[in-house]
Amino acid sequence: MRYLPLTDTDRGDMLAKIGAGSIDDLFVDVPEIARLDGPIRDLPMHASEMAVERHMKARANKNLAAGDAPFFLGAGAYRHHIPASVDTVIQRGEFLTAYTPYQPEIAQGTLQMLFEFQTQVARLYGCAVANASLYDGSTACWEAVAMAGRVTKRNRAVLSGALHPHYAQVVKTMAQFTGDTIADSAPAIQTEPDLDGLTARIDDETACVVVQYPDILGRISDLSKVADAAHAKGALLIVVNTEPVALGAIMSPGEMGADIVVGEGQSIGVGLQFGGPYLGLFAVRDPKHVRQMPGRLCGETTDAEGKRGFVLTLSTREQHIRREKATSNICTNSGLCALAFSVHMTLLGEKGMRELAAENHRLACLAADRLEKVPGVKLLNTSFFNEFTLMLDGKPAREIVRELADRGVLGGVSLGRLYPGIEALEHALLVAVTETTTEDDIETLANELERIVMEPAQ
């Protein structure tokens, strides 16, 4: 079936109306050399819907899906179990409201959900106020840097070498258009982060210091000293969290003095989804900074009859106010993903969140102990939550990851892929373990890794 509603007669009438002899007459301004002279080469001609479905399914079957193999990938996107009830709840009619909740009288379901979501994120991060979400963790990181510049009236950001390189790259890309100075460094391959080296880079022109917690190598640090050092220079501490489940087990960034806490919310309620859409989280510790926050904020109020209700309280974006007064060109929030996050968090509750975190850490400890027994494998971390770094002898980690995949094991992320050109990281493998990992999965990874490591070089 062709989905073309116009007949030849319809097209002829339209061309006659505009004085064109044929459709080709509409393209006379396009140079002839740039026009197609026939079908696109190497592109199959159209086929039936069933034929296309069969073709695409055959291609998809060549993939090694996350749920079909032992899975140890992480580095900012994690596989967690999402209860079926999450999908059921997010499809309820109360939430099927307008894309943007401008009219509170018809968007109470969406507005109340966002209000509850903000409360959950603020509590999780140990902050006073959270916004209604941003696009993803990396763009939230940049928005925090931009906000710190507005608050401090400075334009220099110091990035920890242990910040996820994709987040750092987003910050550096955006800074090209704002004139901000970004001081970054390469990650140090050591058991503990070099926090002394980080604080030594803070000067009187620094607007903010950006630190990941747990960091890209999975290490966990007390960030109180970094907060003190930043505040002593009049700078803000921005903490990035890519695994919110960790905060069910470790101290929140706000408790350690972080001024702005941002991160990725994908782990809770949102699947891997081939890399997106994801969910940016953003919160501030001091309420006085609320008007400098990007995005939108939902608040509680009462209506004309005195009943409890919810409204879009703050939206300091350029569509609503003068452009030069806008805090960001972020013009929306990740509403559906925020809803899924909030539903999953509500189902877990505080007790469930702590139990989920404890199970993640238990399995990660089992995996670290077992993998460290493999010849030629050394555990880098002295602390971690559910992700840790292994140093491998012999082959580069990137080759080993490919060989593991060929053997039906998704065995981790090569840090050499994340940091191309840094020789010290070519043999580093980042391994993530969640509640979806079984003890049999861990044993399978250890056995296959040992076989690969022990194979003689070709």
Q: Tell me the two tokens of residue 382.
A: 């002295």
Residue 195's alpha-carbon distances to 171, 215, 228, 297, 388, in angstroms, are 20, 12, 12, 34, 19
Domain(s) of CATH 3.90.1150.10: residues in the chain: 66-80+350-453
Q: Please name the helix (run of DSSP H) or strand (run of DSSP E) that holds residue 297, with its range, or none.
A: strand 296-302
Q: Could you tell me the fold of the domain covering 66-80+350-453?
A: Aspartate Aminotransferase, domain 1 (3.90.1150)
Q: Are 263 and 140 in contact (CB under 8 A)?
A: yes
Alpha-carbon span 377 to 170, nearest angstrom:
33
Angle between helices 165-178 and 137-152 (to 10 degrees): 50
**319-334 pLDDT, tens digit each:** 555 666 777 767 667 8
**CA–CA gap between residue 311 and residue 309 (Å, rounded):** 7
Task: Give the global pTM.
Answer: 0.88
Query: Side by side, which strands form the sheet with 377-379?
Result: 377-379, 387-392, 428-432, 413-414
Statement: residue 318 has pLDDT above 60: no
Instruction: Give the CB-side neighbour count of residue 183, counting CA atoms within 13 A.
Output: 16
Q: In this structure, what token pair is assigned to residue 195?
A: 């926090």
Under 8 Å between Cβ of 380 and 217:
yes
DSSP 1: -
Structure-token match 């009049």, residue found: 234
Q: What average pLDDT score do residues 31-49 get?
A: 88
Give the CATH class of 84-345: alpha beta
Give the pLDDT score at 435.
98
| Selection from 43-47, 299-303, 367-371 with the highest mean pLDDT | 367-371
Considering the chain, tell me which residue range(s) the CATH 3.40.640.10 domain(s) occupy.
Answer: 84-345
Mean pLDDT of the chain: 92
Identify the residue whose tokens are 């987003």.
170
Q: Crossing angle of helices 439-454/397-406, nearest 10°?
A: 120
Query: Comparing C-alpha atoms, which of 258, 174, 164, 162 is closest to residue 208?
Result: 258
Report the pLDDT value the prediction gives residue 88, as an integer from 0 to 100: 94
Percent of all residues in the chain with a pLDDT value above 90, rounded to a whole number: 77
Average pLDDT over residues 3-24: 90
> Tens digit of pLDDT for each residue in 5-15?
788 899 999 99
| Distance, CA of 37 to CA of 34 (rounded, Å) | 9
pLDDT of 98: 54
CA 425 to chain centre: 23
For residues 449 and 6, what is the distance between their CA atoms, to the nearest angstrom?
A: 60
* Cβ(279)–Cβ(266) below 8 Å: yes
Q: Tokens 């939430």 correspond to what residue?
A: 95
pLDDT tens for each residue of 183-240: 998 888 889 999 999 999 999 999 999 999 999 999 999 999 999 999 999 999 999 9
Q: Compute CA distances 388 → 196, 215, 407, 412, 418, whole Å.
A: 22, 10, 22, 10, 15
Q: Give, for 124, the enclosing helix (H) or strand (E).
A: helix 108-125
Closest CA to 56 of 238, 48, 299, 372: 48
Please report which helix (H) or strand (E) contains residue 391, including its range. Answer: strand 387-392
